[in-house]
């Protein structure tokens, strides 16, 4: 059986723009208590939604304690799921945190998140990827612009745009401490990236992106159309963003760490196939199958 590739990328020497072939909001005419009409429309238009203070400070304190516990565990932190900063070797990300912690596992099933996402995707969901992104103060590194879907499609075999990233802020996300930046409206087209993927690319890409990043001309065009939104919000906020929304973050020299819990809920109907880039699938802790 030949599976059609609706979103080819890293196959050509020049960048291309491909119109989105999938809905953004799958269940738009259904009634729901999970989101307001304004929130649904805003997610559809911008490709993301920021909801302040969904979780209490007490809950967030517990998630932070759990992070310290995991990061300080010498046996756990030597595992491949624990990614270090390029220079300082501080823990930058913990992948599959929900497999090491019941507390994080419960969060991936929390109805305050899941009901919203399952409404938008109009399907049952499962965790495609989960991690904690702990950008430390003073030395936190930037994360360059990308569409998550581009990587998940090419390197993991996610067929369609029917997944939503969920981000829960564990510290203040200020304009100045390397907060998430999003390009509104960028989810409506697919920027096909230049170049081929090396084998075992994930080993480097989790620390520093080099392949599967949009070309500068496309980024300038997207920026000129809709600008950039910096997702400033207090601890305990929820940011939902479409799998194809272009995003990135600057480094952080401030004393304030910027730590977020991040997980991706993918529609059951959108389960992974073989990677469209032709490489072998990435390990399970990066793309659960």
Q: Which residues bind its own copies (CB under 8 A)?
A: 137-138, 142, 144-145, 174-176, 178, 181, 216, 219-220, 223, 228, 230, 248-256
Q: Which is nearer to its own copies, 214 or 275 (CB)?
A: 214
Distances from the Cα of 90 to the Cα of 52, 189, 202, 207, 254, angstroms: 28, 36, 19, 12, 16
Least spacing, CB of residue 167 vs its own copies, in Å: 17
Q: Which is nearer to its own copies, 113 or 213 (CB)?
A: 213
Query: Is residue 22 within 8 Å of 243, Cβ to Cβ?
Result: no
Q: Residue 259 and residue 172: Cα distance in Å, rounded?
A: 8
Least spacing, CB of residue 227 vs its own copies, in Å: 9
Least spacing, CB of residue 33 vs its own copies, in Å: 35
Strand pairing report for 247-249 and 258-267: unpaired
Q: Which is nearer to its own copies, 17 or 56 (CB)?
A: 17
Least spacing, CB of residue 120 vs its own copies, in Å: 27
Sheet of 258-267, strands arranged across: 48-51, 238-242, 163-169, 258-267, 125-135, 91-95, 82-84
Least spacing, CB of residue 168 vs its own copies, in Å: 22
Least spacing, CB of residue 175 vs its own copies, in Å: 4
Q: Residue 160 and residue 188: Cα distance in Å, rounded?
A: 13
- Cα angle 66, 266, 30 (rounded to 5 degrees) comes to 115
Least spacing, CB of residue 103 vs its own copies, in Å: 28
Distances from the Cα of 130 to the Cα of 93, 185, 216, 285, angstroms: 10, 25, 29, 8
If we measure between CA atoms, which residue out of 170, 172, 164 comes closest to residue 265?
164
If we measure between CA atoms, which residue out of 146, 164, 180, 144 comes closest to residue 258?
180
Q: Which is nearer to its own copies, 167 or 213 (CB)?
A: 213
Q: Which is nearer to its own copies, 103 or 174 (CB)?
A: 174
Q: Which is nearer to its own copies, 123 or 215 (CB)?
A: 215
Query: Is residue 286 within 8 Å of 95, Cβ to Cβ?
Result: yes
Q: Which is nearer to its own copies, 12 or 175 (CB)?
A: 175
DSSP letter for 156, please: I
DSSP letter for 18, please: E
């Amino acid at each position: 059986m030949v599976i059609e590739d609706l979103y080819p990328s890293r196959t050509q020497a020049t960048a291309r723009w491909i119109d989105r072939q999938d809905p953004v909001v799958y269940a738009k005419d259904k009634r729901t208590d999970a989101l307001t009409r304004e929130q649904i429309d805003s997610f559809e238009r911008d490709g993301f939604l920021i909801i302040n203070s969904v979780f209490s400070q007490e809950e967030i304190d517990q998630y932070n304690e759990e992070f310290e516990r995991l990061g300080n565990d010498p046996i756990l932190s030597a595992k491949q799921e624990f990614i270090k900063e390029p220079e300082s070797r501080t823990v930058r990300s913990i992948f599959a945190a929900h497999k090491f912690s019941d507390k994080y596992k419960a969060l991936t099933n929390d109805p305050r998140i899941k009901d919203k996402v399952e409404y938008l995707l109009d399907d049952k969901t499962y965790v495609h990827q989960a991690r904690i992104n702990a950008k430390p103060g003073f030395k936190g590194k930037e994360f360059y612009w990308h569409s998550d879907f581009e990587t998940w499609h090419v390197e993991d075999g996610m067929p369609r745009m029917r997944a939503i990233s969920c981000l829960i802020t564990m510290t203040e996300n200020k304009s100045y401490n390397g907060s998430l930046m999003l390009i509104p409206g960028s989810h409506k087209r697919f920027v096909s990236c230049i170049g081929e993927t090396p084998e075992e690319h994930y080993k480097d890409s989790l620390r520093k992106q080099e392949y599967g990043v949009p070309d500068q001309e496309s980024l300038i065009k997207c920026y000129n159309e809709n600008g950039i939104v910096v997702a400033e919000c207090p601890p305990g906020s929820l940011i939902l963003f479409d799998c194809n929304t272009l995003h990135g973050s600057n480094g952080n020299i401030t004393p304030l760490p910027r730590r977020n819990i991040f997980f991706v809920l993918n529609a059951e109907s959108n389960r992974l196939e073989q990677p469209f880039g032709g490489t072998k699938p990435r390990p399970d802790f990066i793309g659960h199958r």
